[in-house]
Amino acid sequence: MHSWWNVSLAVILGVAAIVAGITAWRGTVLNGHAVENFTLSTQSTNNANTLAQDAERTINTQRTLYLDYQQAVDAGDAKLAAMAYSMMDTGTRSAIEWWDEQPTGNRPPTPFSSANPGWPAPSLVIDARSTLDEAEAQLELANDELAKSHSLELLAALLTITFLAGGLSGVFQSESAKRALVAASGGTLVVCLIALVFMW
């Protein structure tokens, strides 16, 4: 009977040691992934902000050039109109050409409309939004990995109960006390194994 308890205890403590090692390794890996995704999220957020600022700057600049161009055309100043037109980017020129070709009663109020296929600004805004969505997804993933890492730290702490109960079983002479401690040790180990599978 005594040797059976010793073998059972040795198996429980051996498996507990392996599980503790795997738990610590997995927690470290998840922690590293969380830090990496936090960094990527910050970088993507910065990129999204830069794209949004660039898009806003481009929109404002091109609209100002268009207003200058239109005022020059209305005033009959061909030289000023040509200069403003030459400073516009290709997308703005395409937007103006498309707008000029539309029937007067069926076109947007200005060339700078999302309905205008030649106007590139909506795609710039969409790119910025897409990058921001990517940043949010990375942040969510990082938080999830960090939460799992913390849960694994708790699991590692619970495994100490396995070692404590197993170690104390050798102190007591009473067979019932030994059974209770080995059972507690084994029960805690089983719970930790199940939790590890779900937290993986």
| pLDDT tens per residue across span 63-107 | 898 889 889 988 998 899 899 888 988 888 888 888 888 888 888
- Measure the CA–CA gap between 51 and 30, rounded to whole angstroms: 31
The domain tally of the chain equals 1
Confidence of residue 1 (pLDDT cuts 50, 70, 90): very low
- Whether pTM > 0.85 for this model: the answer is no
pLDDT at 2 (0 to 100): 57
pLDDT at 142 (0 to 100): 92
- Measure the CA–CA gap between 110 and 158, rounded to whole angstroms: 67
Range of the domain at 12: 2-199
| pLDDT tens per residue across span 20-72 | 888 889 989 998 999 999 999 999 999 888 888 888 888 888 889 888 988 99
